[in-house]
Amino acid sequence: MTTSIKKLPDTEQVLSGNGSCGGCPATMALRIVGKALGPNAIMLLTPSCAVASMGMTPRLGYNWPCINVCFATAGSSASGIANALEIMKEKGRLQGELPTVFSWVGDGGTYDIGLQALSAAAERNDNFIHFCYNNEAYSNTGVQRSGATPRGSFTTTTPTGKRQPKKNMALLMLEHNIPYVATATVAYPGDLYDKVVKARNIPGMKYIEILAPCYLGWQFDMSETVQMSRMAVRCGAWLLWEAENGKISFNNPSSHIISGKKDPVPVDEYLMKQGRFNRFLKGPDASQRIAEIQNDIDREIAFMRERAKIAV
């Protein structure tokens, strides 16, 4: 049973007065992550909105020791810290429960710039959680395309709409044979909380990706963040799943879509609610272009349904 939002602990690791936008999905997600991890953790960040929001020492907005590292190095830096802690414990220089090491990185820092170090850390199965909060663009620098940007989306580097589909990063991480991979989003806080609690208790490398609809890049009203996150799941543009030791299972409501019990909602309304698709969908080809985006979603659903049948 998924933990109810009413039952989440009162612990707050994200402090008031941080610099994120109102309705910021990344900050909302981090609040839930904080409830699941508690205070005994070390946070690594790469350049991103999360860094721009955290303030400056000694007035940090996040209540953990925080380390800002180079864009390309979340994987290697987290590996170094996780291994150093274990050696300190072995040598008796650290007592009690080891802190959870986690990296909190955007899609730019995960899908693109940090992929090499992340892949190497996964292959070594180093003991930390990599979180990717995925707002589907480089938001902090004014919204440029990333490997997570979906087909049709306007960014400053795709002014007429991106022409390629996004990649399935969570699945790529699963193919590294790490013990735990999960996807989540802010409209389902209990689901996210439970996944983080689970990940915290598994040794080795864990990867959790959180869809984070950003009003600035996606161009919708900031009060609609949670609604947008829910719509993404209901139309199948974002699937909720987890894989423990390679075995994929889907979480509600994505499990109903995968099992065929429920059809995904057609993508039209989800697209029309977001200004980032306006230019792509303008003109006489609009219905053909919506069909292309729908096709990307249908393909991913069909692919994940088949992939989940392979148990290793």
Ligand X SMILES: Cc1ncc(C[n+]2csc(CCOP(=O)(O)OP(=O)(O)O)c2C)c(N)n1
Please give the residue ranges that form the binding site for ligand X (CB under 6 A): 47-50, 71, 106-109, 135, 137-141, 146
Largest distance between two CA atoms of the chain:
70
Instruction: Tell me the Ramachandran region of residue 260: left when phi exceeds 0, alpha when psi lies from -120 to 50, beta otherwise.
Output: left
Residue 107 found at the interface with Mg ion (CB under 5 A): yes
Nearer to ligand X (CB atom), residue 40 or residue 164: 164
What does the DSSP 8-state code read for residue 133?
E
Kindly state whether residue 149 participates in binding ligand SF4, applying the rule CB under 6 A. Answer: no
Stretch (H or E) spanning 249:
strand 247-250
What H or E segment, with its residue span, contains residue 199? helix 189-200
User: Is the CB of 150 or the CB of 253 nearer to Mg ion?
Assistant: 150
Q: Determine, following the binding rule CB under 6 A, whether residue 21 of this chain makes contact with ligand SF4.
A: yes
Place of tokens 């508690």: 38
Among 14, 33, 44, 49, binds ligand SF4 (CB under 6 A): 49
Q: Which does 215 bind (CB under 5 to 8 A by kind): ligand SF4, ligand X, Mg ion, none?
A: ligand SF4
* Residues 200/205/210/216 CA torsion (nearest 10 deg): 120
20 binds Mg ion (CB under 5 A): no
3-state secondary structure of 180: strand
Per-residue binder mask for Mg ion (CB under 5 A), 127-146, x = binder: --------x---x-------
Are the CB atoms for 137 and 109 separated by under 8 Å?
A: no
Tokens 């193919």 belong to 175
- Contact status, residue 187 vs residue 230, Cβ threshold 8 Å: yes
* CB of 3 or CB of 144, closer to Mg ion: 144
User: What binding mask, one character per residue, do residues 187-226 give for ligand SF4 by CB under 6 A, x or -?
Assistant: ---------------------------xxx----------
Give the nearer residue to ligand SF4 in terms of CB position, either 25 or 99.
25
